[in-house]
Amino acid sequence: MELFGTEWMNAYQQQWNGAPEVAGALANSGFSTTIGVGFPEDPEPKAYVRVEQGMIVYAGAYDGSELHWDMRATPEQWEKWQDSPPGMVGLGSAVALGRLKFFAGDYATMIKNPALAGPFVKSFGLMGKVTA
């Protein structure tokens, strides 16, 4: 299954929406946003999700929508995180070392907010549950 392809994004949406530690926690905060994902060398993200009240209501190819968050890493780094999801320290290191780049969004502010930080870290763990 192609990373961030339609099938992958649909499977990720199912994982996210079925995870109370992510969707439920974000719903309790009234969290709504758009999050792009992709590769740093590309002019646009490969895909994105639209989150409303903690639940992903759209997951698929990037269509030019305004993004609140745009996270980029190399395909190899994304695959590594699928195999071994990072924790809080691992994500902090990835940002500091440039392995995870934010083209939109404020990582420092988000990670200091407990209502967002926990679900953010756990959302990387869901990537490893996406299977063909």
Q: Give the pLDDT of residue 109.
A: 85
The residues spanned by each domain of the chain are: 6-127
Averages of pLDDT over runs of 10 residues in the chain (132 residues) are 94 96 94 96 97 97 96 95 91 94 91 89 92 60
In angstroms, the first-to-last Cα distance of the chain is 6
pTM of the model: 0.92
Q: Give the pLDDT of residue 108.
A: 87
Cβ-based neighbours of 118, under 8 Å, separated by 6 or more: 21, 25
In contact, 114 and 120? CB cutoff 8 Å: no
**Which burial class, exposed, middle or buried, applies to 59 when counting CB atoms under 10 A from its CB (0-12, 13-18, 19+)?**
buried
The CATH number that domain 6-127 falls under is 3.30.1050.10
Q: Give the pLDDT of residue 114.
A: 86
Work out the angle at residue 53's Cα, subtended by the Cα atoms of residues 81 and 22, and round it to the nearest 5 degrees. Answer: 30
Q: What are phi and psi of 98, to 5 degrees?
A: 80, 15
